Amino acid sequence: MRTGQIIKKDVKKNWFVYMLAVPVIAWFVIFCYGPMWGLLIAFKDFKPLLGFSNSDWVGLKHFIDFFEGPYFWRVVKNTLLLNAWGLAFGFTAPIVLALLLNEIRDGKFKKLVQTITYMPHFISLVVVCGMIHIFTADEGVITQLLQLITGKDYTSLLGYSSFFRPIYTFSDIWQTIGWSSIIYLAAMSSIDSTLYEAADMDGIGRLKKMWHITLPQISPVIIILFIFAVGGIMASSYEKIILLYNPLTYDRADVIASYVYRRGLREASLSYSTAVGLISSLVNFALLWVTNKIASRKSEVSLW
């Protein structure tokens, strides 16, 4: 039987299942793939009044302007460093939390901890940033605590560029750690309990069971999520950046996403900002592909 006939027979048999997939496919086509043709303006001097077809073709001019511009190294460095902080602390924190929650035997206490850690996920980003501004103000709790620890006088911490990355990263961890740990807890729930029973019979402690049983068993999930994390290393949440940064912290807070926002929406340089965004996306794809390739060779776990 030919492949086409097999597919046709399967569609006829499971038509309802395929119908359920139609809205999802339509959403991707309309909102994800459809807008891609707009990337052409990265190679044009786009003027809204002239439209796509009548705007002048400039080739790689906007790409060259970005590479040779005064902000190239600053925004690239800040993007990489900010996401490196996220990988080092934000990626590992949910794993640690999931491991600790998995060891809690008191069901009520475990649910209480999970509820407390999940709740920040449902708080609006604008509200979270407002809380950060309050807590790091001149009389804010965090500012006062830092003064007590260091013995130094500080005004608003968001006015110091050296504090921006820690504030951004650890506030992000606070908001996402509980929600991100769910997938690891789900993976842990599928681990064969006889492995732990055998370890108990051998007198192995909890830490060794975590290291030699739990982590190896959930390593495929960790690897897949790490691949996705590396694939987004050139992308940052511009919403949170623009809600927290100010001219005093541009030297460390200004990333590619916030730069694209300023140039594209505030300065109306649509072609230039599209070119910068395209560069970021291509680098992310390259990093995703390389990381996936390395993972498939070292662990036989990969996206494809």
The CA distance from 3 to 272, in Å, is 46
271 & 185 share domain: yes
pTM for this predicted structure: 0.86
pLDDT, residue 10, reads: 79
Residue 252's domain is classified under what CATH number? Answer: 1.10.3720.10
* Residue 174 lies in domain: 60-298
**Mean pLDDT across the chain:** 90
In 3D, which of 103, 101, 93 has the Cα closest to residue 177?
Answer: 93
Please tell me the number of Cα atoms within 13 Å of 51 on its side-chain side.
Answer: 2
Count the domains in the chain: 2
Q: Give domain status of residue 50, yes or no.
A: no
* Structure-token pair, residue 94: 């949910």
The CA distance from 36 to 50, in Å, is 19
* Structure-token pair, residue 120: 């920040």
Residues in the chain where the model's pLDDT stays below 70: 1-4
240 & 184 share domain: yes
Tokens 């804010």 — which residue?
Answer: 140
Q: How many CB atoms lie within 10 A of CB 254?
A: 22
pLDDT, residue 4, reads: 67
pLDDT tens figures, 156-166 = 899 999 999 99
CB 183 within 8 Å of CB 225 = yes
CB 256 within 8 Å of CB 76 = yes
Tokens 């950060």 — which residue?
Answer: 132
DSSP bridge pairs for 56 = 45
